[in-house]
Amino acid sequence: MRLYDAEYIAELVDEERTEIEVLLGCGFVAAQSEITRIVSRVKWLHDRVKRDGHRLTGTTAEKHGMFKAFSPPVGRTAHAQIEVINAFANYFKHHEEWGPKWKKATRKDAKKTIEIVKALGAAENSSDNCRKGLAALGIDQVSEAYTIAKIIARWQGDLLAAYREELASLRQ
């Protein structure tokens, strides 16, 4: 076999693309873990303040409400950056369960995930849906996937600032 054999090169490129897709999927899942930690802490804060007879209004204590708060929409969609990161993590974890026809997915959460990822360019039987998620977030290069962490940190910082301000007003 020659090193420049077209079939060999195509096979090698396919393997590398698959590895990149898996690594990006793992990155989305790691990001989702951090998002879940933040959501849990905000829910705890809502519950704690409620025990003292107050109600926080910075965001809802509901996960999807938090996803929309302080997270800008992606492109011309109604989907916030944090919501998109979460959806692509769910896509990566569960797309094998949906089979080749996404419309056969029956669970409500799967249908919502499919709706979001499709709105951002993902497609059934595509081998580069995580890359499409990255591109939708405005991250052009796979090597810049760390930008997802910056998106989450900015969202967390904005949530924190809003709650600090609201909690300070409760003390007055």
pLDDT band for position 3 (cuts 50, 70, 90)? low
Token digits of residue 147: 């930008």
d(CA 114, CA 48): 35
**Which residues on adjacent β-strands are paired with residue 88?**
none
Distance of CA 95 to the CA centre of its chain: 15
Domain boundaries, the chain: 6-171
- For 49, other C-beta atoms within 10 Å of its C-beta total 17
d(CA 113, CA 120): 11
Strand, helix or coil at 80? strand
- Per-residue pLDDT for 1 more than 60? no
Q: What is the DSSP string of 107-141?
A: SHHHHHHHHHHHHTT--TT-S-HHHHHHHHTT---
Range among 13-22, 85-94, 99-108, 140-149 rated most confident:
85-94
> For the residues 112-127, what does the mean pLDDT come to?
94
Q: Which residue has the tokens 């929309």?
A: 68
pLDDT band for position 2 (cuts 50, 70, 90)? low
Task: Report DSSP state, residue 143.
Answer: G
Q: What is the pLDDT of residues 45-98, one digit of tens each?
A: 999 999 989 898 878 888 988 999 899 999 999 999 999 999 999 999 999 888
